[in-house]
Structure 1
C-alpha cells in the first residue's frame, strides 16, 4: 500500500472519528433553546470528545509529539480509545521518555490494539525504547484481520483498516519490525515492536535466553 493511499484512508478515518462528537455538538445546539441545560451538557461532552480525539490523531498521524514518557502517553490516550470503552495500561513502561519515532509508533499500536476489543477492555503496553510489546485484554479480544494481512505482506486498504498498514509504515520509519508472538490460551497474541535485525538474532539465540 503506497503512502498516498494510507494518507487518503487516514483522512477519511479521522473525519469519521471526529464526525460522531461533532454530530452530538450540532444536535445540542439545535436543542439549546428548548432544553438549554441538557443541551449545554451534551455540547460539553461532544466538544471534549472531539478535542481528545483530535489531540491523539495529531500526535499519531501528524508530526508526532516528540519524546514521550509514561505520563505523556497516558495523557494522550486517556479517554480517547473507543469512546472511553478501552483503557491503556502503561505500567510496564519505564519513566524515561521513549524516542519520538518510537513514541509515535507506540501510540498507533495502542490505537490498533483498541480495535481488537469490540466489547471494551484494556491494551497493555510494556518495554522500552529498544523494544515494545502490547496485547489487548478483554471479552472477545482478537486482532483485526487487517493486521495479520498486513504482516503477511497483503494489500490492506480502507479507512476502517488503515491503522494496520499505517503501523507498518511508522515501524519502517522508526527502524522497527512488527510481529505477532505466540498467543496464550484464550488470549490475543502479543504484538512486538523490535529494532530491525533483533528478531533474526533472537531466532539464533539459545532457547534459554530471554
Structure 2
C-alpha cells in the first residue's frame, strides 16, 4: 500500500475534525444555554459543562499533536511520562476503561511514542462498552547491537468493536481507494513502520484486541 502525503494528511485532518466536533460543539451549545439562562443553579451547571468540554477539547488536542503531528516541541526521545499522561487524560474522559502500564524505559524514540499513542487510540475506540487497556513498551538493543522499540497494546472487554479495515490498513492489505478517515491513522503507522524497517501486528478474538509494533532505530 502506498498513499500520497497530501491524501494521508487530508484523511488525518478529517479524523481530527471528527473527533473534535463533539467537545467543541458542546462548548457552543453550552454558551448558547448560558446566554439565555437566568437561574443561578442552572448557570452554575452550564459553567461546569463548559469547563468539562474545554478540558476534553484541550486533552484531545494535546494527544493529537503528538499522535498525528510533527510535535516540534519534543526532541528525538520523548518522556514516557508525557505519553502516559496523554492517554490517561483521554481515557479519564471516558470513565469506563481501566489502564494498566508496563513501561521499561523513561523515554522512547518519537516514532515509538507516536505509534504507541495511535495503537492506544485504536484500542480505546474498540472498547465501546468499557474494559481494560494494557500498554507495554520497551526500548532495547538485540545481540547484534541493533536498537529497537517494542510496543504491545491489549484491549479486553465485552464485544470488542474493531473494524478490520483498520487492521488491513495496519498490515498494508487495504487498497488506497478504500482508505478513509477512520483508517488513516493506521495507514500513517504503516508508512512510519515501513520507513524504519519495522513491523506491525494485530490479532482479534471475541473479547480481546492485541496490537503490536517492532520499530528499529533508523
TM-score by length of 2: 0.78
Aligned mates of 2:173, 2:83 — CA distance in 1: 29
Shift of 1:169: 2.0
Partner residue of 2:45? Answer: 38
Name the CA shift for 1:120/1:174 in 2 (closer, same or farther; >3 Å). Answer: farther
Segments of 4+ moved more than 6 angstroms: none
Alignment of structure 1 residues 97-116 onto 2, 5 Å: 97-116=107-126
Partner residue of 1:194? Answer: 214
Partner residue of 2:87? Answer: 77
Alignment of structure 1 residues 57-206 onto 2, 5 Å: 57-64=64-71, 65-66=74-75, 67-81=77-91, 83-85=93-95, 87=97, 89-129=99-139, 130-150=149-169, 151-155=171-175, 156-180=178-202, 186-195=206-215
Aligned residues: 194
Aligned mates of 2:66, 2:43 — CA distance in 1: 34
Q: Secondary structure at the residue paired with 2:192?
A: helix
User: Which protein, 1 or 2, shows the higher relative CO under an 8 Å CA cutoff with sep ≥ 6?
Assistant: 2
Name the CA shift for 1:83/1:175 in 2 (closer, same or farther; >3 Å). Answer: farther
Deviates further, 123-132 or 37-46:
123-132
Aligned mates of 2:112, 2:64 — CA distance in 1: 16
Aligned mates of 1:26, 1:127 — CA distance in 2: 39
TM-score by length of 1: 0.81
Partner residue of 2:142? Answer: none
